[in-house]
Amino acid sequence: MSKIIRIGTRDSKLAMWQAKTVQSLLEKLGHKTVLVPIKSTGDIVLDKPLYELGITGIFTKTLDIAMLNEDIDIAVHSLKDVPTQLPKGIVQAAVIKRGNVNDTLVYKNNEEFLSAKDAIVATGSLRRRAQWLNRYPTHTVVGLRGNVNSRLEKLESNDWNAAIFAAAGIGRLNIKPENAINLHWMIPAPAQGAVMITALESDEEIRTICAEINHEETEICTTIERKFLRQLEGGCTAPIGALAYIKNEEVNFKGILLSKDGSKKIEVSKVVPLGEHSDIGEFCADYIIGKGGKTLMDQLQRGDRNTNIYSTKKLTDGQLQLFHNNVVADSNDAIKISLNRIPKSVVRKEIENVIITSKNGVEALLHNFAPAELQFKNIYCVGRRTKRMIEKRIGNVKHIEANAKKLAEHLVEYMEGAEVTYFCSDLRLDDLPNILVENNITVNEVEAYQTKYNADKVESNLDGVMFYSPSTVESYLKQNKASGIAFCIGETTAKVANQFFEDVRIAKVPTVESVIELVNENYV
């Protein structure tokens, strides 16, 4: 080629090293080149972690514009910084042989802090942060930005125990400290340690030249990792790790997805023969998705939005997945249950009529007695789930109602005898015993469990709160003011909520899923 190949690059020391390496490879093949340094947004904004900047391709965007404007012929990137979807008109032209793929820990004094409860480790990477906290949950992770040299300087000038770097970066600059160890347990970023060259799709001559310096094994492995990343739809804002390598004519792959705080982790690994590897990245991503990854990714994507619905019962990942896209839900158990010791004398003889209004009452009975000891002639209960649990563990249920008031009215009308034993909580907010007593029915209350208030103080301005019992309403209001809509599981709960909330809505059936459906109706 007679013209000079213009090589676009960031102007950091590491980026210049990468560009000069590509320049050397091209010039050894007889091509004339020139470096064109361009400053990127990622180099300019140093006071925020990458995942807070909200820009995909933060280190590549400026070079992409320069290429589309035909100010440069090729661009050199750290492949891990390149979005999986390239801009229209730009293609991957080559990757050069990969360097060290590992993350490296640089510590200040010694490694003893690894076994300590309290330690401070610095990194600007959400993926490194999440994996570190997953392994060392009591440690503190602080943000660290800037070029490699400035990050090493910050480590020395702060009271941190260590900082995490890409091994390839400090190795290429020949500044790897003696007190640095590779973190072989930490799964690197997809394509970490690899250098990519992009070109205009329309420039066939440049693409042909770049193909001469392409390293096939690196291309295979990084393509797999990036397909995994793309299938999960993650970027700098998701803690995703992936590593593929070839050994003994086999492609080995391992991937990971974590929550931002490292408390949740989903891993996958797979080995396939070389030549049968084309879909291994997508396959492993689908495995992650199937193991709860979709819910976790949704939570990550919603993480920067304010919570607008709060549930006073801890929701499962499956239940969180049922919400409308405009809902950002948080949840925690507003009440905690403590099972009481029930005297043996309570159940020594067959009891004719028994009332159980919650699954907690069932749990308390089974905590104290074997099913064979529970000789109840007639069992009356509230709620379908309570009924299912009783019939599975204790015996048949004679009658069920959706709430305590309706059950009391039924008992007044149809119950045989004039005495009942009611296994209840210390906090009883229903009218059942009062109605029965008013109708000359003796109620023997047995405190089977204690209900303790455990509500969070919610900072967000909520659209609504989900309640599942009168106790959850009481507990929530001890920490928070009544505002927004009260989404209630049943009429008994709604009766209490109506005393404090202007807008109270009741689910069609008394299940958590039905309350979620009730919430979703507000966002249609």
Q: Please give the positions annotated as active site.
A: 81
Both tokens assigned to 467: 């309640």
Say if residue 432 is exposed, middle or buried (CB neighbours under 10 Å; 0-12, 13-18, 19+): buried
Contact 468, 312 (CB under 8 A): yes
The angle, 0 to 180 degrees and rounded to 10, between the axes of the packed helices 359-368 and 384-393 is 20
CA–CA dist 412, 435 (Å, integer): 8
Task: Determine the 3-state secondary structure of 355 from DSSP.
Answer: strand
b/e 443-464 (16+ beta carbons within 10 angstroms → b):
beebebbbbebbbbebeeebbb
Q: How far apart are CA 180 and CA 330, in angstroms?
A: 40
The position carrying tokens 């920067």 is 304
Counted residue by residue, the chain has a size of 524
Question: Quick check: 8 and 38 in contact, CB under 8 A?
Answer: yes
**13-28 and 148-157 helices cross at what angle (nearest 10)?**
150
Judge contact between 245 and 111, C-beta under 8 A: no
Q: Are 413 and 437 in contact (CB under 8 A)?
A: no
Integer CA distances (angstroms), 409 to 359, 385, 400, 414, 425, in order:
21, 21, 12, 9, 21
Cβ neighbours for 299, distance < 8 A, ≥ 6 positions apart: 259, 320
- 94-111 burial, b if ≥16 CB within 10 A, otherwise e? bbbebbbbbbbbbbeeee
In the chain, % helix, strand, coil (3-state, to 5) comes to: 35, 25, 40
